[in-house]
Each structure stands twice: as structure tokens, then as C-alpha cells.
Amino acid sequence: MLYYLFDYLHREYNFPGAGMFQYLSFRAGLSVIISLLIATLIGKKIIKKLYKLQIGETVRDLGLEGQKEKTGTPTMGGIIIILSLLIPVILLAKLSNIYIILLIVSTIWLGVIGFADDYIKVFRKNKEGLKGKFKILGQIGLGLIVGLTLYFHPSVTVKNEYAQASKNKTITRNIPQMEEVKSTKTTIPFMKNNEFDYADLIKWTGNDYKNWVWLIFIPVVIFIVTAVSNGANLTDGIDGLAAGSSAIIVLTLGLFAWVSGNIIFSEYLNIMYIPNVGEVTIFVAAFAGALIGFLWYNTYPAQVFMGDTGSLTIGGIIAVLAIMVRKELLIPILCGIFLVENLSVVIQVTYFKYTKKKYGEGRRVFLMSPLHHHFQKKGYHESKIVMRFLIVGIFLAVISFITLKIR
């Protein structure tokens, strides 16, 4: 909204300072500041309101140190993240941009699903919350919306089939004119040209194979949205882990969005240029500010938990962001924390069932799953576990970024 107001003032009246809103860097910085202020200042009032409503977490006794002290800590704190994210985006982003529209829809969609889950747990005293099939259906629905939009919308294009890297060591503005084309290409790490086209999977079907690539692309989008959303949900088990890990991932995706949406940097780095995706930087900046601001109250000992209102939403947004900037095949590296947490649960459950069937008693690979609980059982303090996971997350983020030049 403010973007359009100041754009009008700049064009019609040459209002002093109004031209600043044309710059992504200025609006991104402003969105971080606004989201941080909302999360830290308004967040405190929301937490007090949650206390008054007695929206506290009922903690199951898992035999973990410091667990009982968390009983009664307000949950549904994901509301703080969502408000801190949406307000600066609505104020500062170009709301006509298809990527921004899709991200706002994703935030509200998953926020509603997570809120329904927390509401059932807290107010109806049903620890199971929303039935798993309804969560999955909601995630599939969002994946379908995202996949169909990205595949069919005319504004979702790339502007180079193969970006030609500048032969000079310096960035030049003499960029050749390139035609915008619809494409299902994505970035694949460690491969020649760093690109992969989903259409290549169905070349064998005939000459019109590109007309049917949506049958591959859309299910892939649905799987990614569902997997990452649930991965973030599983990671939300100890104070600050989900929010901190997500902030690192989001900032990395923001960097990808910025360079992919800038024709000069994309040409220099020899990566595909994605028109209009640079605006996503505003959303990412607000998202990072919201997550960091939430950490003000969520670090050990937590004053509020994000609940499924936050964790499902965070994971889904990360998945959608990765798909938009065509870096979804980097998710196993970039979201390595989520992946390992997911795998630890799958391995634990699978091995337990296998050994129970074979030996008559279930055996475990880990002391407890997800993985962070395993380290808690080994006697590590929550703060140490979180900090070490975050260090690993930073390491994975750096690896993800340097894959742009490894091919």
C-alpha cells in the first residue's frame, strides 16, 4: 500500500524521498525493521493475551529435563510470526506481483490449518489436534494451487535458456535482450549447466511431451510443500530451534531471490534470470524479521511456543519460496535440519516395527525421536543443542549458495 502511495507521490509531485520506495534494498530494510518491531512490541501484548485466555501448552511427560517447567507456556505464538510478516508485506510490496500474491495466500492458508490444529488441542482439550488426513489434504490443496499457478500463469517466466556468463571479471550493464519464456527448468546442484527441466522426464512420450509436463511438475510441488511443512513441524520441539533454523534458510532463499531477480547478477553468476521474482526479497526480509523477532520470546526458557500455527506455516512458506526461485532441488541440503529430523522419525518407527515383528519386541535406533530429543536424552542442554543445530544450518546454507558456481 505504501509502495503505491509513494510511487504516486513521486510521479505526480516529485515528493522528496518518495523515490526511495522504488529500490528493493530500501523496502527490504524497512520491512525487516517493521516486522522486528511488530514481533517484539506487539508480540509481548499477544503473549499476555494468550496467558489471560489460558492458552497454555499441555506437555506430555517424556522424561526430558526441564520439560515439566514448560507446562502452561502459551502456544499459538505463530500468530505473532504471521502478523509480523503480513503487515510489512502488505505495506511495502507490489501486491500485483504474482509471487507476492501466492506467498500471501500460502501464509494465510497454512496459518488457518495450523490455527485449527492448535484450537482443537487447546480449547477442545484434544491432544491429537486436527486429524492428520485433514492436515495432509490442506497441504495438498496448497501444493495444487502453487503448482497450477506457477505452471500456467503468464507472468511466471524465465528470461534466459542459458545465461551467458560475462567474460570479464567485472559486472557489466551491456546485457543482451532476452525473450521471456515459460519453462519448467529448475536449478540442480553439481551438474553441468546447473539446470534440469522436468520436461526431460517425459521426452519418451512423443513430440508434444511439453504439453504434459504439468503431470510431473504439479505432483512434485505438492510433495515438496507437504514434506517441508511437516519437517518444520517436527523440528519445533525445543526452544528456538524451528525459528532459528528457518531464519537461516529464509535468508539464504532471499539471497537466491535477489540474484535471480537481478539480470546483472544472474548474468554474472551464470544462473537463470527470473523476471519479477526480485520482489520476493521484500517478503523474505519481513519473514526473517518476524522469525528473529519471535526468537526474542522463544529462546530458552521460552515465553511462548509457536504451535502448529507457526511451524506448519513456516515450512510451507519455505517450500513455496524454494520452488519460486527454482531451487527446490537444493532443499535436501539447505533444509538439512528438517530432513534429518524427518528421517530420524521414519528410521525410528520403521526399525521399531521391524524388530517387533522379527524379535517380538521393538528396538530403537535413537534414544528418542525426533533427533533433538535423542541429544536431550544424552544429557545435552537445550541451548547447546539448538546452537549446534544452528551452526550446522549455517554450514548447509553456505554450501547451498556456493553450488551456484560448482558445476
Q: Which residues pair with 187 in a beta bridge?
A: 195
Please, are residues 257 and 324 in contact by the beta-carbon 8 Å criterion? Answer: yes
Could you give the angle at which helices 280-298 and 98-123 cross, rounded to 10 degrees? 30
Alpha carbons 14 and 8: distance in angstroms, whole number: 9
Q: Shortest CA distance to 244 belongs to which of 308, 338, 370, 317?
A: 338
Distance, CA of 402 to chain centre: 20
pLDDT in tens, 152-177: 999 999 875 444 444 444 444 455 55
> What pLDDT was estimated at residue 162?
45
> What pLDDT was estimated at residue 69?
63
> What pLDDT was estimated at residue 164?
45
* Residues lower than pLDDT 70 in the chain: 54-71, 160-178, 407
Give me the residue spans of the domains in the chain: 26-332
> What pLDDT was estimated at residue 265?
85
